[in-house]
Chains A and B, each alone.
Chain A
Amino acid sequence: MSFTSVAFLALLLVAVPLYWMLPWQRARLALVLLASLVFYAWRHWPSVFLLAGTIALNYALARLIESTRRRIWLVLGIVANLSILGWFKYSAFVAQNLVALGRLVGLELPMPTASTWLPLGISFFTFQVTGYLIDVWRREVAAEKDLLVFAVFKSFLAQLIAGPIVKGRHLFPQLHVRRTFDAALCHRGLLLVLIGTALKLAVADVIRPYVDKVYAAPVEASTLEAWLALYGYAVQLFADFWGYSTVAVGVGFLFGFELPFNFETPYLATTLQHFWRRWHVTLSSWFRDYLYLPLGGNRAHEWRNRIVTMTVAGLWHGAAWNFVLWGFLHGVWMSAERSLSPKRELGRWGTALRTILVFHGVALLWVLFRAPSLATAGAVLARLALPPYTLRTSLPAEWPIWIAVFLLAHPWLDRLLRLDGLARWKVRYQVALVGVLLWLMLAYAGPPADFIYFVF
């Protein structure tokens, strides 16, 4: 079920009022679990059994880790979770590369038939629960004894498919306490759901067809179209994922749960490291806590640790070499940046220049992220930089305006969302804002499309 579907709206309209009407916390949790399973089963019902199986497995493993303090249970848990992820997400990629490698040494291996079943959100809930097992091992959180609480922690519909990756110590206390209805929080949740949906439907989905057009045939694109697609995808991806995460936080608020915000004006970052502290914050934190720091962090082999962490992060996003290269280049850039950055304070113009440079660097690397193959990425990059330089375009004139307006307005919107600036608005202005958002969504939303991060 997508956050932008009628089915999801119907689910919320039923589940949220019912949730607050129920007097018992366990009944509320059961309702949230049921709603989450319906939400997850809507697209592909057999995936629910996988979800239920991993809930049971990880509940038992966490209890074993805590009670026995034997490392073997942690290792088993990590291997089991990563094996499930590997089987569904990476087996075809591994097989393809083994077949290609076999050909190189003159061995003709049969290519197995790839499964088309990729459970939604598997990368997200696998990382969430793996982090939880490690936290239990590190005694940073107690193993959850209540299976119902644990099941809701792992399957809560707001964060199940594309994050934010919420830690146990953040969500468990909220799940145990029966909260009274907080009208202000609910009000904020509604606004976040609306604005997040508008970011998806009225920004990301409006830009998407033109980006797709350029990436479908980059050789035919003019230089201007290639550059517009570069900026367009930077905005599309951000609006898409920011929109998703905003709806997720909003849905959490509707049920009285506070989930972390995943974005903080990332395109205003002055360094790549800064960018990753502001983009997909919960994933960046996960990689820092469970991979970068255990590898040694800044203490030893900093370059290696960064590059390995970012390369793995690239592979997490997708089972393809372009994602691996994308992550690797981010790692190299971050390492170089730390070594080469001047220590003195930058002035106003220096900061602005660095922001522009970092944005363009990130946008250029998004080409690897968006392109279906390295060949396509190469073709797009070639159209950006190599002759013939042509300015012709069949893209609609409002498109660059749309991109520019979004880039200029997003810091203001971020303040409204994250810092709850909207709470200061009079209700009539909030309704007027809803009117504008509804108009944008109604007028400009394209054909329904999944959130980009649904496939990760």
Chain B
Amino acid sequence: MPIESSSGASAKARLLRFILGTLVLLAAAEGLSRLQHQAFAAAAHRARFKAELLKGQPAPAFAAIGTSRFNDSVSPRQMARALAEHGGPTLAGFNASVPSSSLQTQAFLAGVALERQVGTVFLEASPRQLDFLADESLQEAPAPAGFEEQVLSWSELLHYRRALVAENLPRLAALFAPARFDGSEWFRTRSLAQWWSETDERPTPLPPPEVICPGTPATGDPAYSAALEVWARLSQQAQANMARIYFVVPPVASANRAEECDEHWRAFWGALANRTHRPVISFACTGAPDELFHDRFNHMNWRGRAALSEALAVAWAADLEKPRCEGRP
């Protein structure tokens, strides 16, 4: 291969082209990050990503928001299909669940859903959802201090550079066409490999859930009073937006059932229904077969997802037809 001259006009031209090429590259990257500011901001953060996808939906009528348990086990598409089959309307939905999310994250996403005029919100109400109460990553970053930070803060590309991590690049791409996704495609655990199986096979039906209505005599664990307050605020916000909230306790495998299907938690769900004036649909004690779970504890596989999506749709259709908790305080 011939080597270009290292001196004279040719070298100067090469240097100039190199500098210009690099500057154009940087300017293009910075320009793209400014044009797609929201996408870059969202791609680097799982909750913000789901929020941004939700905002990009054409007309989401319902949303499911919870932890990895809900993320794995609710398919909006399957729910919509089952709802239509059981006499309900044909609606589009979105799964805004985020693995390991805190209650604060759930409240943030529920707020986005309500702002987006989502009519029905299914909130996961599980012991797992209570585990993490603080999520500092959702707070606004502090103002830049010092020379370095002030210079760096000028660049949107630097600010949201984590969007470029290989793991986040598909999210960035998805945010250019958010309407193509219903939220359930993201952050799945091992059931991901079997996602294509969900369309054809009829799910193993789940036993009907227990519906805990407001007015049930119950006293919640005072340790979780802060959680009750968060959920009560969300319930009020939903009412103000003419939206409905259903709290859902997802199914649990036999190995963990004793932990979640006991009087302590039953009393807490009762207290939740009383505090929020909304029903709690509990699958905790339904005896869901272990074959519906991929981790033998509480994460559902693709069969479980189909089953829970159908069961939720059935419960919702029934409630739409004749509210179970109507007339109760």
Residues of A with Cβ closer than 8 Å to B?
A: 5-7, 10, 182-184, 186-187, 190, 423-424, 427-428, 430-431, 434-435, 438-439, 442-445
Contact = CB atoms under 8 A, between A and B. Distances in A.
B6 A184 contact: yes
B19 interface: yes
A111 to B, nearest CB: 35
Given A6-B151, A183-B15, A427-B21, A442 B157 contact: yes
A374 B33 CA distance: 48
B25 A7 contact: no
Given A182-B7, A183-B11, A443-B162, A435 B18 contact: no
B100 interface: no
A71 B162 CA distance: 60
B180 interface: no
B18 A187 contact: yes
Contact of A427 (B1, B18, B29, B148): B18
Contacts of A434: 21-22, 25
Given A443-B161, A444-B165, A183 B1 contact: no
Given A438-B26, A438-B29, A183 B7 contact: yes
Q: Which of A423, A438, A439, A442 has the most CB of B within 10 A?
A: A442
B249 to A, nearest CB: 30
| Dominant secondary structure of chain B at its interface with chain A | helix
B164 A184 contact: no
A186 B18 CA distance: 11
Given A6-B147, A443-B165, 13 more contacts: A5-B148, A7-B147, A10-B151, A182-B7, A183-B11, A187-B14, A187-B15, A427-B18, A430-B21, A435-B25, A438-B25, A438-B26, A443-B164
A435 B29 CA distance: 10
Contacts of A445: 161
| Dominant secondary structure of chain A at its interface with chain B | helix
B17 interface: yes
Contacts of B17: 427
B188 to A, nearest CB: 17
Interface of B: 1, 3-4, 6-7, 11-12, 14-15, 17-19, 21-22, 25-26, 29, 147-148, 151-152, 157-158, 161-162, 164-166
A14 to B, nearest CB: 14
A183 B157 contact: no
Nearest to B7: A184
30 contacts: A6-B151, A6-B152, A7-B148, A182-B7, A183-B7, A184-B6, A184-B7, A184-B15, A186-B15, A187-B11, A187-B14, A187-B15, A190-B18, A423-B6, A424-B1, A424-B3, A427-B17, A428-B21, A430-B18, A431-B21, A431-B22, A434-B25, A435-B25, A438-B29, A442-B158, A442-B164, A443-B162, A443-B164, A443-B165, A445-B161
B124 to A, nearest CB: 26
Contacts of B7: 182-184
A6 B15 contact: no
A6 B22 CA distance: 17
Contacts of A190: 15, 18-19
B280 to A, nearest CB: 35
A423 B10 CA distance: 12
A427 B21 CA distance: 8
A240 B161 CA distance: 22
Contacts of B1: 424
Nearest to B12: A183
A59 B8 CA distance: 38
A435 to B, nearest CB: 5
Contacts of A10: 151
Contacts of B157: 442
B165 to A, nearest CB: 5
A55 to B, nearest CB: 27
A438 B164 CA distance: 10
A439 B164 contact: yes
A159 to B, nearest CB: 23
A10 B154 CA distance: 15
Contacts of A184: 6-7, 11, 14-15
A431 B164 contact: no
A241 B161 CA distance: 25
B56 to A, nearest CB: 24
A147 B4 CA distance: 40
Contacts of A424: 1, 3
A428 B157 CA distance: 22
Contacts of A7: 147-148
Contacts of A431: 18, 21-22, 25
